[in-house]
Amino acid sequence: MQIGQDTDTGFWIDNTAHRAFLRHDAQRQLDVFRQMLRADGGFNLPSWDGTPLPDAPQELHTTTRMVHSFALAKCFGFADCDAVIDAGMAYLWQAHRDTQHGGYLWSVARDGSAADASKLAYGHMFVLLAASTAKEAGHPDADRLLADVTQVLDIHFWEEAYGLYADEFNRDWTPFSTYRGMNANMHGVEAHLAAFEATGEARYLDRAGRIIDFFVHQMAPANGWRLPEHYTQDWSVDPAYAGNPMFRPAGTTPGHSMELGRLTLQHWDLAGRKGDTAPKAARHLILQAITDARRPDGGFAYTLKDGQIDRPDRYWWPVTEAIGALAALIKLDRNPQDEALYRSFWQFAQSHLIDPDHGGWFPELDDAGKPAQHQFIGKPDIYHALQADLLPLIPHLSRAAASV
């Protein structure tokens, strides 16, 4: 199906053919990942040809993102989502949930034992997101999951003095590091906005706003609109930190700036659109990231140091976040320059990342622009690319699950 024509007048998010393409690509992704549901309620991940990869410990963000993605798709009217949602919700409660110490285990082996019993804020934010979207989709167990994870976040992760979330603990909640990070808090904004949309409880909106205030309105302008990722226990920037090469790479990660810029607009919309500070900051954050990280041959470099490309690796998810961010800017202000960027990102995705034969998106490209399997094996995620399809379809900056 044609993604859209350069000769189309107006804006693609308003274009019938482009909107049909978005739903078509979303359906193909759902068809691939739906087949990964196992008999025990867990999920495998798909190889490039759509066959399941061998069993491996199931990580919390895999389970939660599957629930969120299929629940969001159900809200958009896609069929045959319930089996995945039901299985994922049960797996969260019965396998990931730690009945001894509370909270949710990072990964679970096929036999149900803990493969990695760490308690990570990053994973718990996705539990909150999954519970919130499942509630929007009408799942009967959403409220208990939402209440449980909210309590865990309150008791163990929230640092009231800073208005931010701590990152990581052992299974019994003893600390094993003093690391503090932007990534978990950014996904905290995402999850808390979803929880506010699902419940109307102001505490979720308020906490999202406090996180945004620190990163977008304090740290970004103080650091050339490039967000520091890593911090010490007192939330001082830790420029020398280098952790997990995927989840905590050294330097700054432009894709996160695009994502947080979009979330800043969502929060501003939900909070009553007060003033123009948030939209200006969001635009600055998004466009700085695009300017810094966009490679001449398309796509985005993964990380920067001092504003210069450090890791030039091209992954799929920054492209999806650029699409979502530009769609949000276009909804706010029909700007032709934003439209040109939006079209170029989709054209790159169609020519390099979207699998025309089996559906889904290839997660990384080599230097020649061909799909590669260096950091990732198979297709590790539906969440980013599905949202790139669905978020441009809604007319507003917020309430995706209730807008269609």
Active-site positions read: 256, 384
- The kind and range of the H/E element at 152 are helix 142-152
Q: Is the dihedral of CA 383, 313, 244, 304 positive or negative?
A: negative
Q: Is the dihedral of CA 349, 258, 317, 391 positive or negative?
A: negative
Q: How far apart are the first and last CA of the chain?
A: 22
Return the SS3 of 228. Answer: coil
In Å, how far from its chain's centre is CA 190? 8
In the chain, what are the helix, strand and coil shares in percent, each to the nearest 5?
50, 10, 40
Distance CA 199, CA 214 (A): 25
DSSP-derived pairing of the beta strands 314-315 and 364-365: antiparallel
Instruction: State both tokens at 174.
Output: 């003893």
Counted residue by residue, the chain has a size of: 404
CB 94 within 8 A of CB 159: no
CB 97 within 8 A of CB 104: yes
- The kind and range of the H/E element at 303 are strand 303-305
Distance CA 172, CA 250 (A): 29
Phi, psi of 260 (to 5 degrees): -70, -30
CB 323 within 8 A of CB 343: no
CB 312 within 8 A of CB 302: yes
Specify the residue for token string 């993605």. Answer: 69
In Å, how far from its chain's centre is CA 18? 23
